[in-house]
Structure 1
Amino acid sequence: METPAVPAELKRALRTPSLVVFGLAYMAPLELLAIFGVISENSLGAAAGAYLLATFAMLLTASSYGKMARAYPVSGSAYTYARKAIGPKVGFLSGWAILLDYMFLPLVVWLIGANYLHEAVPALPLWACVGLFVVITSVLNILGVKVADRANLILMALLFLIIIFFVILSVGQIAGPEGNGFSLHPFYGEHTNFGAISAAAIAAYSFLGFDAVTTLTEETHEPQKRIPRAVMLVAALGGVIFVGLAFFAQLVHPDPFFDNPDTAAVDVVAQIGGPLFGAIFIAGVIIGEFASGLTCQWGATRLLYAMGRDNVLPRRFFGQIDKKWQTPVFNTVLTGAVGLIGIFMSVETSTSFINFGAFIGFAMVNLSVIFYWRQHRGEHLNPVSYLVVPALGALVAVFLMTQLDGTALLIGAIWLAVGVGILAKITRGFKVAPPEMAV
Structure 2
Amino acid sequence: MSIFRTKNLDDMVAAGRAPGGLKKVLGPMDLIFMGIGAIVGTGIFVLTGTGALTAGPALSISFVIAALACAFAALCYAEFASTVPVAGSIYTYSYATLGELVAWMIGWDLMLEYGLATSAVSVGWSGYFQSLLSGFGLALPTVLTAAPGAVPGVETWFNLPALLIMLVLTAMLSWGMRESARVNNIMVAIKIAVVLLFILVGFRHVQPANWQPFMPFGISGVMSAAALVFFAFIGFDAVTSAAEEVKRPERDLPIGIIGSLAVCAILYVLVSAIMTGIVPFQKFLGVDHPVSLALQYAGENWVAGFVDLGAILGMTTVILVMTYGQTRVIFAMSRDGLLPRKLSTIHPKHSTPFFATWVVGIVFGLIAAMVPLNVLAELINIGTLAAFSLVSVAVVILRKKRPDLHRAFRCPGVPVVPALAVVFCVALMTYLSKTTWIAFGIWLLIGLVVYFGYARHNSALNQKA
The alignment's TM-score, normalised by the length of structure 2, stands at 0.84
Aligned to 2:381: 355
Tell me, in whole angstroms, the C-alpha distance in 2 between the residues paired with 1:132 and 1:352.
Answer: 26
Aligned to 1:281: 307
Tell me, in whole angstroms, the C-alpha distance in 2 between the residues paired with 1:322 and 1:226.
Answer: 26
Tell me, in whole angstroms, the C-alpha distance in 2 between the residues paired with 1:401 and 1:64.
Answer: 19
Mean alpha-carbon deviation: is it higher for 342-351 or for 46-55? 342-351
- Say if 1:134 and 1:336, in contact at 8 Å, map to a contact too: yes
Of residues 312, 319, 326 in structure 1, which corresponds to 2:351? 326
Tell me, in whole angstroms, the C-alpha distance in 1 between the residues paired with 2:284 and 2:187.
Answer: 32
Of residues 332, 338, 343 in structure 2, which corresponds to 1:306? 332
Asked whether 1:398 is paired with 2:398, we answer: no
- Say if 2:45 and 2:311, in contact at 8 Å, map to a contact too: no
Look up the SS of the partner of 1:286 in the other structure. helix
Tell me, in whole angstroms, the C-alpha distance in 2 between the residues paired with 1:437 and 1:369.
Answer: 28
- Say if 1:310 and 1:437, in contact at 8 Å, map to a contact too: no
Tell me, in whole angstroms, the C-alpha distance in 1 between the residues paired with 2:310 and 2:243.
Answer: 29
Aligned to 2:15: none
Aligned to 1:410: 438
- Say if 1:76 and 1:302, in contact at 8 Å, map to a contact too: yes
- Say if 1:155 and 1:291, in contact at 8 Å, map to a contact too: yes
Of residues 220, 225, 238 in structure 1, which corresponds to 2:264? 238
Aligned to 2:73: 61
| Corresponding residue pairs, total | 422
Mean alpha-carbon deviation: is it higher for 317-326 or for 98-107? 98-107
- Say if 1:352 and 1:407, in contact at 8 Å, map to a contact too: no
Structure 1 residue identity aligned to 2:231 = Y
Structure 1 stretches lacking a partner, 5+ long: 1-5, 175-179
- Say if 1:31 and 1:285, in contact at 8 Å, map to a contact too: no
Give runs of aligned pairs for residues 40-189 of structure 1, distance below 5 A.
40-122=52-134, 123-124=139-140, 125-126=144-145, 127-174=159-206, 180=207, 189=214
| Superposition deviation, residue 398 in structure 1 | 2.1
- Say if 1:427 and 1:434, in contact at 8 Å, map to a contact too: no
Tell me, in whole angstroms, the C-alpha distance in 2 between the residues paired with 1:241 and 1:437.
Answer: 49
Of residues 335, 338, 341 in structure 1, which corresponds to 2:360? 335
Question: Could you list the per-position Cα deviations for residues 39-94 of structure 1 after superposition, in whole angstroms to 9, with x for gaps in the alignment?
Answer: 22322321111111221121000011011112211111110111111222211111
Aligned to 1:373: 399
Look up the SS of the partner of 1:46 in the other structure. helix
- Say if 2:382 and 2:429, in contact at 8 Å, map to a contact too: yes
Aligned to 1:177: none
Structure 2 residue identity aligned to 1:54 = A
Tell me, in whole angstroms, the C-alpha distance in 1 between the residues paired with 2:59 and 2:22.
Answer: 41
Tell me, in whole angstroms, the C-alpha distance in 2 between the residues paired with 1:276 and 1:405.
Answer: 39
Tell me, in whole angstroms, the C-alpha distance in 2 between the residues paired with 1:228 and 1:321.
Answer: 27
Mean alpha-carbon deviation: is it higher for 297-306 or for 275-284? 275-284
Tell me, in whole angstroms, the C-alpha distance in 2 between the residues paired with 1:74 and 1:237.
Answer: 25
Question: Could you list the per-position Cα deviations for residues 352-385 of structure 1 after superposition, in whole angstroms to 9, with x for gaps in the alignment?
Answer: 5222321221111111012112213578998962
Mean alpha-carbon deviation: is it higher for 275-284 or for 411-420? 275-284
The alignment's TM-score, normalised by the length of structure 1, stands at 0.88
Asked whether 1:252 is paired with 2:278, we answer: yes
Tell me, in whole angstroms, the C-alpha distance in 2 between the residues paired with 1:73 and 1:259.
Answer: 43
Look up the SS of the partner of 1:385 in the other structure. coil
- Say if 2:202 and 2:275, in contact at 8 Å, map to a contact too: yes
Tell me, in whole angstroms, the C-alpha distance in 1 between the residues paired with 2:168 and 2:455.
Answer: 39
Tell me, in whole angstroms, the C-alpha distance in 2 between the residues paired with 1:142 and 1:169.
Answer: 39
Percent identity over the alignment is 24
Structure 1 residue identity aligned to 2:116 = F
Mean alpha-carbon deviation: is it higher for 398-407 or for 241-250? 398-407
Describe the shift of the 1:368–1:336 C-alpha distance in structure 2 as closer, same or farther (beyond 3 A).
same
Aligned to 1:385: 413
Describe the shift of the 1:83–1:428 C-alpha distance in structure 2 as closer, same or farther (beyond 3 A).
closer
- Say if 2:224 and 2:432, in contact at 8 Å, map to a contact too: no
Question: Could you list the per-position Cα deviations for residues 158-214 of structure 1 after superposition, in whole angstroms to 9, with x for gaps in the alignment?
Answer: 11221122112112223xxxxx2599x59x926465444223221222101111100
Structure 2 stretches lacking a partner, 5+ long: 1-17, 146-158
| Superposition deviation, residue 262 in structure 1 | 3.5
Look up the SS of the partner of 1:347 in the other structure. coil
Tell me, in whole angstroms, the C-alpha distance in 2 between the residues paired with 1:129 and 1:191.
Answer: 39
| Superposition deviation, residue 428 in structure 1 | 5.7
Mean alpha-carbon deviation: is it higher for 221-230 or for 114-123? 114-123
- Say if 2:79 and 2:411, in contact at 8 Å, map to a contact too: no
